[in-house]
Amino acid sequence: MKLQVSRRQRATPYTPRVEALGVSGFSVVNHTILPKGFGRPVAEDYWHLKSHVQLWDVGCQRQVELHGPDAERLVQLMTPRDLRRAQAGQCLYAPIIDDEAGMLNDPIILKLADDRFWLSISDSDLLLWAKGLALGMGLEVDVDEPDVWPLAVQGPSSDDLVARVFGEQVRDIRFFRFERCQFEGHPLVVARSGFSRQGGFEIYVDDFTLGADVWDALWQAGEDLELAAGCPNLIERIEGGLLSYGNEMTRQNNPFECGLAKYCQLDSGLDSIGMKALTAIAKRGHAREIRGLIFDGDSCPACQQPWSLTIEERQVGYVTSAIWSPRFEKNVALAMLERGFWQAGTAVDVACGDGSLRAGIVTDLPMEDG
Amino acid sequence: MKLQVSRRQRATPYTPRVEALGVSGFSVVNHTILPKGFGRPVAEDYWHLKSHVQLWDVGCQRQVELHGPDAERLVQLMTPRDLRRAQAGQCLYAPIIDDEAGMLNDPIILKLADDRFWLSISDSDLLLWAKGLALGMGLEVDVDEPDVWPLAVQGPSSDDLVARVFGEQVRDIRFFRFERCQFEGHPLVVARSGFSRQGGFEIYVDDFTLGADVWDALWQAGEDLELAAGCPNLIERIEGGLLSYGNEMTRQNNPFECGLAKYCQLDSGLDSIGMKALTAIAKRGHAREIRGLIFDGDSCPACQQPWSLTIEERQVGYVTSAIWSPRFEKNVALAMLERGFWQAGTAVDVACGDGSLRAGIVTDLPMEDG
């Protein structure tokens, strides 16, 4: 399907670069375009990502900045994850839920200072939620979208590449920590994080006009590292169990269903939004939970709407994302399984989008090596 | 550009129908796909829309339902438009603003009952704003997205078509009013409204599984009316001065800039959000305002990022949407002009996206017949 682009689907500082490199398609995330491929098969991008290093335009990962005396209070209200021991320089993956414990977003929270946070969001206008709460509760906090355009470097050679541009000290940045590193006199937030399991960094370029220079510097430094332009890889993220808001979860799902129980501190005494609902759900047991799935047959189509999973014609769940895996030489998927059917090894029938019924096996996440 | 589709870009009940009819592209609005063409030139769709009748899949116009004792209080807090005399059965176009008077959305509000409203939204997650406010203020109101999928019938033959399916009483529905009309035993909200100036209806199909039947009934009834599948037409909406949130306006614009002063009742005594900021802006005068623009040269490219407008190299505004008009035989645009330069007839230079500088003339909106 062709995407019609207007101002409403915002370009990023990197858009001219990815266009020059032959980007073959886009998705729209947070009203911003996200490259989805560069004309190579997804499987080729997958092996490249696992072997070398890629540069990803993830400018669509917009930041919601909370700044002011009540910033800490607001961010803690927004998540059941206990942030009280979080330190400046830390990245924290966190479910954001409403009063019924429905998932609204699953950002990475960057604690910049005690009174300043960035929420690096998935695809929903979390700014409106934060600002609505702040205004409704009379909190003293500014909620805004800063001029920040993340650029991801992912893959095993990421350290080598990023060290060449930002200095050797990036090698010492721990997982889910960030440091401010100089680029031509600008201190940029460089975090060891990213939407793959292959290691790497996200660089929070905090000036649109600087973006192309950062891209170019990395691009030029990567010539001998087989650096390629890339994007989040569906095969790799499914095998790695990385969830996508809007695909694997919606407001109809609670964090337990999404496998995020470890980010819900029910006994913390916190009065975060949705905590009561979460506690009630924990007491009665949640009804479904996300798992991996490996299934037979040739390369499956894209999963545009949930595919039913059945056992002897009884529905026991549904697939949310699926693709052919060259590593398993089978199709891999993320799926929401009803209680009693989410144990690894459970055999299910997959109502694949092409009309076929295929044999599948539930797996844990991330998927084990095949 | 190719659009990659997953569950995150929701299909509508009409998606299989528009695909069968050869839809050639989609946009994404409210996490939902919106058809953008059917393989015919936009100009051909334009003349057809002005002469006959079209069926539009506008399922992306999601509803935010406010229901409960505080629904009326919440909706009035959300807009500076005075809703106190609104009646059930009325549609009300309304700016939704934040505390700094920044535009968050420009929905049509449908007053279903004194304690129940639908906000038929443009492209931002207004549900999060409404729910955040309600929760923060402790209001007694349910905020949710109901299972409603608008379908638009637009064009001069709309009355004839809709009367054949929903009965002759639809002819008596006044502009921006709605009635509940029977379809196979289901009472559906049918409103005289829509995103064109050619007349017509929006049918609020409140059950996904009913959508295809409603589409089919209208499709079959329209055979002798030259009915075609269509979509919001960029030429027609620019000439008609219909604004698109995210294109013509963002959170950086206030309602005065968007030409929406008549929907801001500053002397009403209402304590709506942003009213103080609006009053302050009114006092000092707003800095820019939206206008039409007609400019020379051959068919311009799509406006993906604002194009600068200058007079003797001084910037006096920017274009937000533009396209070739077969009626004017010139390019038409919507543009934001700085104070002092928004009078109709003002001559400006347009920095067109193809690199050319073109002569343009500011117009009022809607544009007069050429």
Contact pairs from chain A to chain B, CB under 8 Å: 166
Cα dist from A117 to A74, A88, A182, A202, B250, whole Å: 10, 9, 20, 16, 23
Does the pLDDT at position A370 exceed 80? no
> Chain B partners of A131 at a C-beta cutoff of 8 Å?
98, 129, 132
Q: What is the distance in angstroms between the Cα of B172 and the nearest Cα belonging to chain A?
A: 36
Q: Chain A interface, mutation test: which of B6, B57, B99, B140, most A Cβ atoms within 10 Å?
A: B6
A325 and A224 in a common domain: no
The tens digit of pLDDT for each residue in B298-319 reads: 999 999 999 999 999 999 999 9
Label the pairing between strands B25-29 and A330-338: unpaired
Does the pLDDT at position A333 exceed 70? yes
Q: What is the distance in angstroms between the Cα of A173 and the nearest Cα belonging to chain B?
A: 33
When CB atoms are compared, the residue of B128, B137, B306 closest to A125 is: B128
> Chain A partners of B31 at a C-beta cutoff of 8 Å?
123-124, 246
CA–CA gap between residue A186 and residue A211 (Å, rounded): 12
B349 and B202 in a common domain: no
Residue B10: inside a domain: no
Beta bridge partners of A318: A308, A336
CA–CA gap between residue A222 and residue A55 (Å, rounded): 10
A156-165: average pLDDT: 98
B152 and B19 in a common domain: yes
8 Å CB contact of A24 and B2: yes
Residue B5: inside a domain: no
B336 and B191 in a common domain: no
**How many other CB atoms are there within 10 angstroms of residue B349's CB atom?**
17
Instruction: Provide the pLDDT for residue A5.
Output: 76
A53 and A156 in a common domain: yes
Residue B3: inside a domain: no
Tokens 């205004």 — which residue? A135
8 Å CB contact of A273 and B306: no
Helices within chain A (DSSP H only):
15-20, 42-51, 71-78, 126-137, 158-166, 211-221, 234-240, 275-284
When CB atoms are compared, the residue of B4, B135, B304 closest to A5 is: B304
Does the pLDDT at position B1 exceed 60? no
Q: What is the share, in percent, of chain A residues with pLDDT greater than 90? A: 97
Task: Please state, rounded to an integer, the average pLDDT across all residues of chain B.
Answer: 97
Residue A112: inside a domain: no
User: Shortest CA distance to A97 belongs to which of A278, A281, A288, A274?
Assistant: A274
8 Å CB contact of A3 and B2: yes
Which of A218, A237, A256 is the endpoint of a domain?
A237
8 Å CB contact of B8 and A134: no
A154 and A57 in a common domain: yes
Residue A333: inside a domain: yes
B294 and B277 in a common domain: no
Angle at A195 between CA A189 and CA A201, to 5 degrees: 30
Band (B368; pLDDT cuts 50, 70, 90): confident
**Number of structural domains in chain A:** 2
Which of A219, A237, A255 is the endpoint of a domain?
A237
Side chain identity at residue B3, one-letter code: L
Query: What's the whole-model pTM score?
Result: 0.97
Band (A3; pLDDT cuts 50, 70, 90): low
> Chain B partners of A31 at a C-beta cutoff of 8 Å?
123-124, 246
8 Å CB contact of B136 and A131: no
The tens digit of pLDDT for each residue in B99-124 reads: 999 999 999 999 999 999 999 999 99
Q: What is the distance in angstroms between the Cα of A359 and the nearest Cα belonging to chain B?
A: 22
Structural domain containing residue B321 = 287-370
B47 and B158 in a common domain: yes
The tens digit of pLDDT for each residue in B201-233 reads: 999 999 999 999 999 999 999 999 999 999 999
Dihedral (Cα; B56, B61, B67, B72), 10-degree rounding:
-100
Band (A249; pLDDT cuts 50, 70, 90): very high
Give the H or E element holding residue B234. helix B234-240
User: Shortest CA distance to B7 belongs to which of A243, A103, A303?
Assistant: A303
> What's the start-to-end Cα distance of chain B, in Å?
33
When CB atoms are compared, the residue of A25, A36, A99 closest to B135 is: A99
Q: What is the share, in percent, of chain B residues with pLDDT greater than 70? A: 98
Instruction: Provide the pLDDT for residue A29.
Output: 97
Residue A90: inside a domain: no
Instruction: Say which CATH number the domain at B260 has.
Output: 3.30.70.1400
Band (B3; pLDDT cuts 50, 70, 90): low
Residue B221: inside a domain: yes
8 Å CB contact of A36 and B4: yes
Residue B314: inside a domain: yes
Which of A237, A272, A307 is the endpoint of a domain?
A237
Instruction: Say which CATH number the domain at B182 has.
Output: 3.30.1360.120
Identify whether the C-beta of residue B93 lies closer than 8 Å to the C-beta of residue B86: no
Q: Tell me which chain B residue has its CA closest to the CA of residue A320.
A: B7
A300 and A197 in a common domain: no
Instruction: Say which CATH number the domain at A324 has.
Output: 2.40.30.110
> What's the start-to-end Cα distance of chain A, in Å?
33
Instruction: Provide the pLDDT for residue A117.
Output: 99
The string of DSSP letters for B178-208 reads EEEEEETTEEEEEES--SSSS-EEEEEE--G
Instruction: Provide the pLDDT for residue A368.
Output: 83
8 Å CB contact of B26 and A9: no
The tens digit of pLDDT for each residue in B54-99 reads: 999 999 999 999 999 999 999 999 999 999 999 999 999 999 999 9
Instruction: Provide the pLDDT for residue B2.
Output: 61
Q: What is the distance in angstroms between the Cα of A155 and the nearest Cα belonging to chain B?
A: 23
Tokens of A172: 């010492």
A330 and A214 in a common domain: no
Band (A262; pLDDT cuts 50, 70, 90): very high
B88 and B45 in a common domain: no
> b/e string for B189-205 if b means 16 or more Cβ within 10 A?
bbbbbbbbbbbbbbbbb
8 Å CB contact of A31 and B246: yes
> Chain A partners of B124 at a C-beta cutoff of 8 Å?
31, 125, 128
Instruction: Provide the pLDDT for residue A339.
Output: 98
A347 and A218 in a common domain: no
